[in-house]
């Protein structure tokens, strides 16, 4: 999960058309990084993330969870597509998180 989803209070269950929380949590694992949480500076947004999320959020530590080779792959791909300069380091980490989770789920 990226910072914007948290800051905009995106209603994932509505977006994914799953009204029941138990079913949502059975079907989906919502994962983000500590670096994403670190981007949330204002008190109201922080309180929402800490106490108001309507689902469980699994926060991984970027330094220990993301593999170096996944970051290299993301950076190289972003350079190939011309997106590298528009992606922050945290954006790249979130993409690398998705790469790693896809590998784990295989």
Provide the pLDDT for residue 10: 93
Instruction: Encode pLDDT of 28-77 as tens digits.
Output: 999 999 999 999 999 999 999 999 999 999 999 999 999 999 999 999 99
Distance CA 87, CA 25 (A): 30
Q: What is the mean pLDDT of the chain?
A: 95
Element (H, E) at 60: strand 58-60
Is 80 exceeded by the pLDDT of residue 106?
Answer: no
CB 56 within 8 A of CB 35: no
Res. 25 pLDDT band, cuts 50 70 90 = very high
């Amino acid at each position: 999960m990226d910072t914007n989803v948290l800051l905009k209070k995106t209603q994932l269950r509505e977006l994914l058309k799953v009204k029941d929380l138990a079913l949502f949590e059975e079907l989906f694992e919502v994962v983000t990084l500590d670096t994403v949480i670190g981007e949330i500076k204002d008190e109201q947004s922080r309180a929402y993330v800490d106490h108001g999320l309507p689902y469980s959020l699994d926060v991984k530590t970027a330094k220990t969870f993301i593999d170096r080779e996944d970051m290299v792959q993301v950076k190289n791909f972003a350079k190939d597509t011309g997106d590298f300069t528009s992606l922050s380091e945290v954006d790249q980490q979130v993409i690398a998180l998705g790469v790693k989770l896809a590998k784990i789920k295989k």
